[in-house]
Amino acid sequence: MSDHRIGQGALITLELDHFIGGRWVKAKGAEYIDVISPATEELTGRVPVALPSEIDDAVAAAREAFEVGPWPRLSIGERVEYLRRLVAALESRREEVIRTQIDEMGAPYRFALENFDAISPSLERMIKDVETIPMREVRDGTVGKVLVLREPIGVTAGVTPWNSPVMVALSKLFPSLLMGCPIVLKPAPESPLSAYLIGEAVRAAGIPEGVVSIINGGVPEGAHLVGHAGVDHVTFTGSVNGGRAIAKVCGERLCRVTLELGGKSPAVILPGVDMTPYLPALVGGSLRNSGQICVSTNRVIVHERDRDTVVAQLVDYVSAMKVGDPHDEDTDFGPVASARQRQVVERFIASGVAQGARAVLGGGRPADQPRGWYVEPTIFVDVDPKMDIAQEEIFGPVLSVMTYQDESEAVAIANDSRFGLGGAVFAPDPELGIDIASRIVTGTCAVNGGPPSGGGAPFGGRKDSGLGYERDVEGLESFVELKSVTLPAGYVPAV
């Protein structure tokens, strides 16, 4: 499947195969993607780009697995056992999975570790949720009884981003397979190496052939996959522009689609809150993974009287955090994921300065990191809500502090965004925090340090942040179709 070579002191992984229909298949094309370490700027791996015919083969294998294979016809309990074996296979290679993600996209070790340790609990939570979904239920119709069936939707295409490659891929794979739907995954071209470890875990778990495929490529390959007539449902996590393009294709085909897109989430700090105990939650929610998280609360909205105090706390806290080698277990900020992404972040920082904001921390490249795509953690004050740094998703370690005079203005600033994915409120009283959270137009909101991203409840975005929901019962139900079976008068079926 792969060839490992030593290059300039580092191990380089050269992948030779595609994972099609649960089997390793020799790549036919001549084009490859070079995977560059964001920390060293050196080649860390290479993967083949899938030809259109190879994508067709993956969809055909999934189609056959759905139409005539055993997977949709297994009980949920049987599918659960396969998925638990898949998780066990990943856990047996824990450090390799973690380190591979660091090598390909630069996530700090602790972030990659936390994500890995969430894999098994995430699956177990899905198992509990699926047990509450009635796959057969009898309802009262207008005349007599009706049997309502929930059936697997069909073949899923899962397109994933680079910022948390394994966890996000599994957030597509787990619910799709649990609900009986074969899946074709396309990881981001920046982070394809860890997907090979998922493929090996699928093989180790003994999941039937055809049920899982993983294909590599960029925008053209993704477009071929999501536009394929053999795909019944697309689930995408990524940029707004990518989501719009996918939604257009799915709209033309009347194909089901779930989109989890960008964010520019607010963190509203109400007067009277001692932020000292909440600084880890505020900074973690804003700058974790170098700010490369879609729900990052990187718009901090604080009462004008409290601004200087909160800014001083933020500067002291972030200044004490370590920028360094992402493989080190005590590193807080690694590099951003690519040279292109650093250019994007630096353009936004420059625009903030040009438009009148003031950087009270950072704003440049770390002097002690001569190699790698590093950006200093940056905190801006004097930010007008209309500035680009307050309106556009930066996807980097940049935090903007804005002020307000009363609660209505705070809510207005929080809602002055085309995005609506995450949010946070810090209040002297939780009930007041809940009231403010209910007024913010967003899919999820954490009060007083509550877990981000919905905490396991339905997760989805409003406005430009997406369509549909992932996680919990609502996320699982996006992988099923409903069928109503009307019954003879007086007949009540078993369920």
Catalytic site residue 260? yes
Answer yes or no: do 198 and 342 share one domain: no
Helix 240-253 and helix 219-226: axis angle, to 10°?
A: 30
Decide if 236 is inside a domain.
yes
Answer yes or no: do 347 and 390 share one domain: yes
The C-alpha atoms of residue 216 and residue 55 are separated, in whole angstroms, by 9
Answer yes or no: do 473 and 395 share one domain: no
**Stronger pLDDT, 272 or 350, i.e. the higher one:** 350
Decide if 486 is inside a domain.
no
Answer yes or no: do 406 and 361 share one domain: yes
pLDDT score for 297: 97
For residues 110-133, average pLDDT: 97
Question: What's the token pair of residue 237?
Answer: 């996590």
**Environment class of 52 (CB within 10 Å of its CB; exposed 0-12, middle 13-18, buried 19+):** middle
Decide if 411 is inside a domain.
yes
Answer yes or no: do 160 and 272 share one domain: no
Q: Are 264 and 297 in contact (CB under 8 A)?
A: no
Q: How confident is the model at residue 2 (pLDDT cuts 50, 70, 90)?
A: low
Which CATH number goes with the domain that contains 111? Answer: 3.40.605.10
pLDDT score for 244: 97
* Total domain count, the chain: 2
Answer yes or no: do 255 and 329 share one domain: no
pLDDT score for 9: 43
Condensed to tens digits (0 to 9), the pLDDT of residues 313-356 reads 999 999 999 999 999 999 999 999 999 999 999 999 999 999 99
Average pLDDT over the chain reads 96
Answer yes or no: do 282 and 252 share one domain: no
Q: How confident is the model at residue 138 (pLDDT cuts 50, 70, 90)?
A: very high
Decide if 492 is inside a domain.
no
Decide if 491 is inside a domain.
no
Answer yes or no: do 222 and 291 share one domain: no
Condensed to tens digits (0 to 9), the pLDDT of residues 278-325 reads 999 999 999 999 999 999 999 999 999 999 999 999 999 999 999 999
**Stronger pLDDT, 4 or 447, i.e. the higher one:** 447
Condensed to tens digits (0 to 9), the pLDDT of residues 380-414 reads 999 999 999 999 999 999 999 999 999 999 999 99
Which CATH number goes with the domain that contains 315? Answer: 3.40.309.10
pLDDT of 4 over the 90 cut: no
Among the listed residues 260, 346, 393, 470, the single catalytic one is: 260
Decide if 487 is inside a domain.
no
Give per-residue burial for 98-130: e unless 16+ CB within 10 Å, then b: bbbbbbbbbbbbbbbbbbbeebeebbeebbebb
Catalytic site residue 41? no
Answer yes or no: do 215 and 334 share one domain: no
Q: Are 106 and 450 in contact (CB under 8 A)?
A: no
Decide if 494 is inside a domain.
no
Residues in the chain, total: 495
pLDDT of 433 over the 60 cut: yes
Condensed to tens digits (0 to 9), the pLDDT of residues 64-111 reads 999 999 999 999 999 999 999 999 999 999 999 999 999 999 999 999
Answer yes or no: do 82 and 26 share one domain: yes
pLDDT score for 10: 55
Decide if 76 is inside a domain.
yes
pLDDT of 35 over the 60 cut: yes
Among the listed residues 181, 250, 255, 294, the single catalytic one is: 294
Answer yes or no: do 242 and 313 share one domain: no
pLDDT-wise least confident of 3-7, 38-42, 233-237:
3-7
SS3 of the chain: the string is CEEEEEECCEEEEEECEEEECCEEEECCCCCEEEEECCCCCCEEEEEECCCHHHHHHHHHHHHHHHHCCCHHHCCHHHHHHHHHHHHHHHHCCHHHHHHHHHHHHCCCHHHHHHHHHCHHHHHHHHHHHHCCCCCEEEEECCCCEEEEEEEECCCEEEECCCCCHHHHHHHHHHHHHHCCCCEEEECCCCCCHHHHHHHHHHHHHCCCCCCEEECCCCHHHHHHHHCCCCCCEEEEECCHHHHHHHHHHHHHHCCEEEEECCCCCEEEECCCCCCHHHHHHHHHHHHHHHHCCCCCCCEEEEECCCHHHHHHHHHHHHHCCCECCCCCCCCCECCCCCHHHHHHHHHHHHHHHHCCCEEEECCCCCCCCCCCCCCCCEEEECCCCCCHHHHCCCCCCEEEEEEECCHHHHHHHHHCCCEECCCEEECCCHHHHHHHHHHCCCCCCEECCCCCHHHHCCECCEECCEECCECHHHHHHCCEEEEEEECCCCCCCCC
Q: How confident is the model at residue 21 (pLDDT cuts 50, 70, 90)?
A: very high
Answer yes or no: do 27 and 74 share one domain: yes
pLDDT of 13 over the 90 cut: no
pLDDT score for 5: 47
> Which domain does 85 fall in, by range?
2-261+469-481
Provide, rounded to the nearest whole percent, the portion of the chain with pLDDT above 70: 98
Question: What's the token pair of residue 3?
Answer: 């060839």
pLDDT of 437 over the 60 cut: yes
